[in-house]
Every structure is written in C-alpha cells, then in structure tokens.
C-alpha cells in the first residue's frame, strides 16, 4: 500500500509519510536509488527536503550523486539538506569540497550558506574557501575564516 501512496497520492504529506515510513526499514542500494529518483522528481520541496534528510542519515555512498544533484535544486532548504547529507557521507564517497565551498557567496540564501559553512567546519575543510573568492566576496570569505577560528562560548 505504501508503494501506491508514494506513486499516486495527490497529497505531498501522504507521499512524504509513506516515504519516511519506508525508510525506517533496511533497503537495498538499488531500491534506495529508485526512491531517490522518485524524490528528485517530486514537486513538493518540503517532501524532498525531509526525505533527503532521512536518506542522509543512512550515509549510503550510492546516494552521493543524488545529493550532489540536489545542491542545484530550486529550493534553498532542499539545497541545504543536500549539502549536509552529502558532506556526512563516508570519505569513500569522494566529496567535492570545492562544490560545497562554492555555495558560500553573497547571492546564496542564508540556509544554504549556513549548511555549507557547517559542512566545511565540521569536516575541517574551511580552508577550501580561500580558493573561492567571488567578485565582491573577499570580505565575506575573510569573515568566514575569522569566524571559524573564534571559539564558541
């Protein structure tokens, strides 16, 4: 029944609930890829964001391309979730830290910038930002470097 809801339910909340329920059970890599294709095509950004976050918890390297692709999604919250999920994959996924660093710029929405900074800081890749000065962003990148060295109180 969940499969039918995932594929045909007109309500995004129902599709999301069915997908999240399905992901509480172990899934084969091929099935995860099928789910990723369905999610990527879904018109509901909140559904995509929620399922991306859940898929990210699985830390399955076969989803690396899916997470990379969603970093270009039209919705900033989906992009942010994809950045976090992608950055938390095991190292064997071969994360493109430069791609994540490129999300830190003056035109990016704050949730995307925060996700990218969180990913880079958590994985001690903040130095990658030095290679990503965009026109007018020199102060932004300098501020990020200073911020990352400031101890939290």
**What confidence tens digit (pLDDT) does each residue in 57-97 have?**
999 999 999 999 999 999 999 999 999 999 888 877 777 87
**What is the value of pTM for the model shown?**
0.75
Helix, strand, coil % in the chain, rounded to nearest 5: 70, 0, 30
Residue 81 has a pLDDT of: 95
When pLDDT is cut at 50, 70 and 90, the band that residue 32 belongs to is very high
Spatial CA neighbour of 59 closest among 113, 96, 23: 23
Distances (CA, A) of 30 to 27, 54, 63, 100: 8, 17, 10, 26
| Statement: residue 140 has pLDDT above 60 | no
Residue 145 has a pLDDT of: 43
Chain-wide mean pLDDT for the chain?
A: 82
């Amino acid at each position: 029944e969940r499969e039918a809801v995932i594929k045909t339910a007109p309500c995004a909340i129902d599709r999301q609930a069915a997908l999240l329920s399905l992901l509480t059970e172990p899934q084969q890599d091929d099935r995860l890829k099928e789910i990723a294709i369905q999610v990527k095509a879904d018109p509901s950004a909140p559904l995509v964001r929620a399922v991306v976050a859940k898929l990210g918890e699985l830390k399955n390297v076969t989803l690396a391309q899916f997470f990379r692709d969603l970093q270009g999604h039209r919705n900033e919250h989906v992009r942010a979730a994809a950045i976090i999920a992608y950055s938390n994959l095991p190292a064997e996924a071969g994360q493109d830290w430069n791609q994540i660093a490129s999300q830190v710029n003056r035109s990016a929405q704050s949730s995307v910038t925060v996700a990218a900074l969180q990913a880079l800081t958590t994985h001690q890749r903040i130095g990658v930002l030095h290679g990503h000065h965009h026109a007018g962003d020199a102060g932004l990148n300098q501020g990020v470097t200073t911020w990352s060295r400031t101890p939290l109180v």
